Structure 1
Amino acid sequence: MAQRYASALFELALESGTIDAVEADLTRFTALLAESEDLTRLVKSPVFAAEDQARAMSAVLDKAGISGLVGNFVKVAANNRRLFAVPGMIVAFRAMVARHRGEVTAEVTSAEPLSDAQTASLKDALKAQLGKDVTLATSVDPALLGGLVVKVGSRMVDTSLRSKLNSLKIAMKEVG
């Protein structure tokens, strides 16, 4: 379902030449979700009626200055009781945009937010390794303790401190 909605949004953005604007609005919407637990609850909870979700989302989008394709997209999702799937739709849309641009998306999880310098360095290293431009989808998981987990397609590199400690724990059990 997320793929279908994202595909429809991508086709509309491509036809109207507004891929960059749509991507920017989706980034703003994602930031709103990250900043507000109440908004996340509204999006994910099946308790709210479709009309209530649509009305609330309309107000949030207007206040955030998100209109056009993305505004209509989120409102349609709310009216169709698919608001809970919007984050997945955004991920699918970004993957389509990356393919369209000839980019590869790398999912990067770190123990702490990456600095701009670290992000640039990681992008450069991945571009040198893959031979393509790389878009990073970053997330933070303090349970990693340190290091990174990088996923590109079906490949994963886990340099997290948590994994290293687990490996050490297993090795110590085998010795004992």
Structure 2
Amino acid sequence: MKQTTVGAEILEPYAEALMSLAQSNNLTGRFGEDVAFILDLLKTSPELQQVLANPFVKPESKKAILRQLVAPQVHDFVLKFLLLLVDRRRIFLLEPICKQFQALLRKLTNTVLAEVTSVVELTEPQRQAVIEKVKTMTGSQQVELETRLDPELIGGVIVKVGSQVLDSSIRGQLRRISNTLTSFT
């Protein structure tokens, strides 16, 4: 998801403030886990996203929902941060703020994000092979995999790291063969 300049100007300070809080309390790992939990919760519950983004839902109702859903799972500082977003009427930016925080955390830990698309869920040995390949490609110490399924690939995988794309899918191979054959005619 690309942010507009205005959106980026608003969300980056919040993500940086959360990172600063995490670093000053030596909780970057814990906050990273909490943010991943929140993003997963938002991903699996579109209704929650709608309620948080709805300006007609009262702030106290939003806070009560957040307390009920995330309080037992996240650090108290993270919960207070979420409540602050509600107070500042920025809770609708929760997902991009969390993603920006993850980007800051990856930068801090020299971790790259590899987006892997495959037809079926990767097995653990396949995941490890992709991680090792990405480490070799990027020279990074750690790799975070974000996987998604696409049955149109037919087989193989597509790995995207930043602007680099490694397409070893059957669909990609067929497209390259088609382009080669077309260039001969």
Shared fold, TM over 0.5: yes
Q: Structure 1: which 5+ runs fail to align?
A: none
Counterpart pick for 1:34 among 19, 35, 43? 43
Name the TM-score, length of structure 1 as normaliser: 0.79
Matched, 1:102 2:107: no
1:11 alignment partner in structure 2: 20
| Alignment correspondent of 1:159 | 168
Alignment partner, residue 129 of structure 2 = 121
Q: 1:86 to 1:108 in 2, by over 3 A?
A: farther
- Letter of the 1:96 partner, please give it: L
Residues 139 and 11 (structure 1 numbering): CA distance in 2 closer, same or farther, change over 3 Å? same
**TM-score, normalized by length of structure 2?**
0.76
> Which amino acid in 2 is paired with 1:31?
D
Q: How far apart are the structure 2 equivalents of 1:40 and 1:78?
A: 13
Q: How does 1:21-60 map to 2 (within 5 A)?
A: 21-46=30-55, 48-60=57-69
Aligned 8 A contact 1:143 1:162 in 2: no
Two-structure CA RMSD over aligned residues (Å): 2.7
Aligned residues: 175
Structure 2 unpaired stretches of 5+: 1-9
SS in 1 for 2:74: coil
Q: Deviations over 1:57-110 (max 9, x none)?
A: 122112x43232221222222332322322222221122122212222223333
Whether the 8 Å CA contact 1:104–1:152 is kept in 2: the answer is yes
